[in-house]
Amino acid sequence: MANIMSEKPTDVILGIPEIIEKYRIGEKLVMVTAYDYPSARAAELAGVDIVLVGDSGAMTVLGHESTTMITIDEMLMFCKAVRRGIRSPFMVGDLPYGSYEVSDEQAVQTAFRFIKEAGCDAVKLEGCGPMSISRARAIVQAGIPVVGHVGLTPQTAVTLGGYRAQAKNAEAASLLIQGALALQGAGCFCLVLEAIPSVVAELVVERIEVPTIGIGAGPATSGQVLVFHDLLGIGEGRDAKFVRRYADLLEAMKCGITDFAKEVRNREYPTTEHEYKMDPQEADTLRSILRSEED
Ligand code: KIV
C-alpha cells in the first residue's frame, strides 16, 4: 500500500501565536475536519491551517444518525490517527457529547485525555450557556486551549429543533452574541459559528477579539470550516445550504470499485505484472517434494 507520508511536510508548525498572527493581518483561516490518517494527510498536503477532529465523524465515518452516540474512546482513536498524519496544521479535538457536561472536573479530565493520549493541540466544546462557559473556563485554567462553538450545535440539535439555522430573531441573536462574548471571557482563543445569519456573524465579529471560523455563517468570519466528507462529496443525501462540494469522491470511489469488480469477474485482473515470480527450478523442486509427500 502506498505511503503518502513520504511527501515532504511543510516546515511551519502552526501554534496559537501563528494563528493569531494570520488573523491579525487579515489572512483567512482554513479549517477542515479529518478523522483518520489519509484524511489528515490530504489536509496537511493541501496546506490547511487547522484540522478539526470533529464529532461529525459519528455520522460521516461511523454512520450514526447524530453526533451524540460517539464515545470518548472512538474520538481518541480518530485523533491519534489524525495526529500521525499531520505535522504543520494546528489540531483541535472535539469533546463528544456526555464527556464534559457533568462537571468542570469531568471536562478537564476528558480534555487532558485528548492532549496527553491523542496529541491534540486544543479541544472544542459546544454551546454558550452557563454550563459550557464554566467548562471552557475550567479547561482553559487547566492550561488547555479551547475553541468554542455557537449557533447550530449538533450535540443538542434535538433541543434546537433539528439541524436548522439558529439566531434568526433579534432576541436569539442577542443571546448568541452575549454567549460568544462570554466564551471569549472564559478564555476561548477561537470560536466556531455554525448556521447563523450572516448579519449575526458580522455583529459577533465586530464585537469579539478572537478569531471566528464560520460554517454557514457567511463571509465575515476570520475563516471557514467544512466537513471533509461534505467538501469532497463523499457523503450521500442532501447537503446543508452552506456546503459547496469541491469534488465528487463518492462517484470516483464507486467507479473505481465497479471497475475492479468488473475486471475480477472478467478475469482481466490480476495480470502477470501483478504476480510474484518463483524461480522455475524452485517450482520444480516444490512439485517433486509434494509428489513424494503425496505418494
Ligand atoms: O464536528 C464537526 O465537524 C464540527 C464542525 C461542523 C465545526 O463541529
Q: Is 167 in the pocket of ligand 1 (CB under 6 A)?
A: no
First to last CA, the chain: 41
Q: Provide the greatest CA pair distance for the chain.
A: 90
Three cell numbers, residue 214: 464560520
Quote the ligand 1 centre to 251 CA distance (angstroms): 24
Residue 258: helix, strand or coil by DSSP? helix
Three-state SS letters, 124-137: EEECCCHHHHHHHH
> What residue spans of the chain are helical by DSSP H?
16-24, 37-46, 57-60, 72-85, 104-116, 130-141, 157-160, 170-185, 198-207, 228-231, 249-265, 280-294
Q: Which residue's CA is minimally distant from atom 6 of ligand 1? A: 227
Name which CATH class applies to 4-247. Answer: alpha beta
Backbone angles phi, psi at 90, to 5 degrees: -75, 140
Assess whether 194 carries a catalytic annotation. yes
Pocket test for ligand 1, best of 56, 126, 155 (most atoms within 8 A of CB): 56
Among the options 44, 74, 126, 194, which is catalytic?
194
pLDDT tens digits, 14-49: 999 999 999 999 999 999 999 999 999 999 999 999
pLDDT per residue, tens digit, the chain (295 aa), is 545 544 445 579 999 999 999 999 999 999 999 999 999 999 999 999 999 999 999 999 999 999 999 999 999 999 999 999 999 999 999 999 999 999 999 999 999 999 999 999 999 999 999 999 999 999 999 999 999 999 999 999 888 988 999 999 999 999 999 999 999 999 999 999 999 999 999 999 999 999 999 999 999 999 999 999 999 999 998 999 999 999 999 999 999 999 999 999 999 999 999 999 999 999 999 999 999 999 8
Distance 227 CA to ligand 1 centre (A): 7
Residue 52, phi-psi category: left (phi > 0), alpha (psi -120 to 50), beta (remainder): beta
What does pTM read for this prediction?
A: 0.94
Residues in CB range of 81: below 8 A, 6 or more apart: 35, 36, 37, 40
Cα–Cα distances in Å, from 126 out to 187, 224, 242, 261, 279? 14, 17, 19, 43, 62
Percent of the chain with pLDDT over 70: 97
Q: Domain boundaries in the chain? A: 4-247, 253-294
Q: Is 70 in the pocket of ligand 1 (CB under 6 A)?
A: no
Residue 225, ligand 1, Cβ within 6 A: yes
